Amino acid sequence: MTWWKRSILFQSASIDKWLQWLLRAGAVMAALIMVLIMLFLLLESWPALQHIALIRFFTDETWHPLEDHYNLLPMVTGTLYASCGALFLAIPLGIASALFMAFYASPRMAILYRRLIELLAGIPSVVFGFWGLTTLVPMINQWQPPGASLLAAILILTLMILPTLALTSHAALTAVPGEYLRSAAALGLSRWGMIYGVVLPAARKGIVAGILLAAGRAIGETMAVLMVAGNVVQHADSLFAPIRTLTANIALEMAYAMSDHRAVLFVSGLLLLLLVMVLTSLAGWLGKEHHV
């Protein structure tokens, strides 16, 4: 029997099967990491969840973990203020950047600016924090002491989430079908009329998904905020008041936290995780809708 007449009936032990099982093992490992993270956060925060009533995280007088006061609310408002402020500034800047790349710049200029945004996205948070600490904070301090403040946190966070917003919005804008633009132009719409009336509504879902992702990043950011926000546990009453965020709180106190205190820090980590999970799931869902 020659090799080319080998029967098709003989089923050899297939290398495909072996490889597939190997790859399956890898993929399951990758997916299990998420489960493992959830499991360990729950496990570590269990002591706190068990004998501290959930309501106490919001009704205790203050955050004095060494004296059994576990009010997380100042940190939650700190995180919210800083993130919302950053979004407030970054959304117009990011969408303007995306519009610039998609409709206003020459192709060469657009690519150059895109590279710049991508490089901005590559700057590590600790460098942003360091720059804020050495440049922004002294500047604000001259204007309204102490300098390390909600405002500094907002400005630095703005810079950090801007690339996410600009790049996702740009992707959403370029996904708008060309026929829309041509027919809008054929109707004699002005450039802004076309953008406002046709392009932005068509790209809305993609842009919103980008905003949700950026919000997730802002909430989860640690180092930069830790370095410029002043880290005083309080409800901010002005832009110039120092604040502390949930993430900064973990980074600051984890090193010496014991028993219940430590468990409460894990609770705040769990809270962060859940918040970000909701945001990314929403963004992923919107993104899927957008593509269909």
Partner 1 sequence: MKPKSDMTDYLNDREVLNPAQPTCDKSNAYTLGPLQTGPYCCIPEPVIQVKDLSLFYGAKRALDKVTLAIYRGCITALIGPSGCGKTSFLSAINRLTDLIPDCRVEGAVQFEGNDIYDATCNVQQLRKQIGMVFQKPTPFPLSIQRNIALPLREHGITQRADIQVITEQVLRDVGLWDEVCDRLDAPALSLSGGQQQRLCIARALALDPQILLMDEPCSALDPIASSVVEDLINRLNGRYTIVIVTHNLAQARRIANYAAFFWVKERERIGHLVEFGHCRDIFETPTHPLTAAYVSGTRG
Partner 2 sequence: MYKQIGVTGKPNHLLRDQMIRLLIYLMVLCVSGVFLWILLDLIHGGGALLSWDFLTDVPRDAGRAGGIGSILISTLLVLLIALLVALPVGWATAMLLAEFIPAMSLLGRWVRYSLQVLAGVPSIVFGLFGYAFFSIYLGMGFSILSGGLTLACMLLPILVSTAEAGLRAVPESYRLSAAALGMSRTATLFHLLLPVAAPAWAAGLLLGIGRAAAETAALMFTSGYVDRMPESLLDSGRVLALHIFDLSMNVPGGDAPAYASALVLIILLLVINLIAMQLIHFWQRRKLNTE
Binding mask 133-172 for partner 2 (x = CB under 8 A): xxx-----------------------x--x----------
The residue within the footprint of partner 2, chosen from 46, 193, 201, 235 (CB under 8 A), is 193
Query: Per DSSP, what are the bridge partners of residue 70?
Result: 63
| Position 10 contacts partner 1 (CB under 8 A) | yes
From CA 10, how far away is CA 53, in angstroms rounded? 66
**What is the rounded radius of gyration, in angstroms, for the C-alpha atoms of the chain?**
25
Residue numbers 222-261 binding partner 2 by CB under 8 A? 222-223, 226-227, 247, 250-251, 254-255
Query: Per DSSP, what are the bridge partners of residue 69?
Result: 64
Minimum distance from CB of 63 to partner 2 (Å)? Answer: 17
Whichever of 97 and 168 has its CB closer to partner 2, that residue is 97
Whichever of 123 and 233 has its CB closer to partner 2, that residue is 123
Reading the block at residue 14, the tokens are 């297939």
Burial class (CB in 10 A: 0-12, 13-18, 19+), 226: buried
4-12, 36-44, 83-91, 280-288 -> range binding partner 1 (CB under 8 A): 4-12
Q: What is the DSSP string of 219-245?
A: HH--HHHHHHSB---S---STTS-B--
| Position 238 contacts partner 1 (CB under 8 A) | no
Of the candidates 52, 75, 33, 64, the one whose C-alpha atom is nearest the C-alpha of residue 268 is 75
Q: What is the dihedral of CA 256, 264, 60, 271, to 10 degrees?
A: 130
Whichever of 115 and 288 has its CB closer to partner 1, that residue is 288
The residue within the footprint of partner 2, chosen from 106, 108, 122, 256 (CB under 8 A), is 122
7-15, 71-79, 181-189, 265-273 -> range binding partner 1 (CB under 8 A): 7-15
| Position 115 contacts partner 1 (CB under 8 A) | no
Query: Using CB distances below 5 to 8 A depending on partner kind, what does residue 7 bind out of partner 2, partner 1, none?
Result: partner 1
The residue within the footprint of partner 1, chosen from 9, 28, 186, 258 (CB under 8 A), is 9
- DSSP state for residue 63 in the 8-state scheme: E
Minimum distance from CB of 3 to partner 1 (Å)? Answer: 4
| Position 13 contacts partner 1 (CB under 8 A) | no
**Which residues of the shown chain bind partner 1 in the complex (CB under 8 A)?**
2-4, 6-12
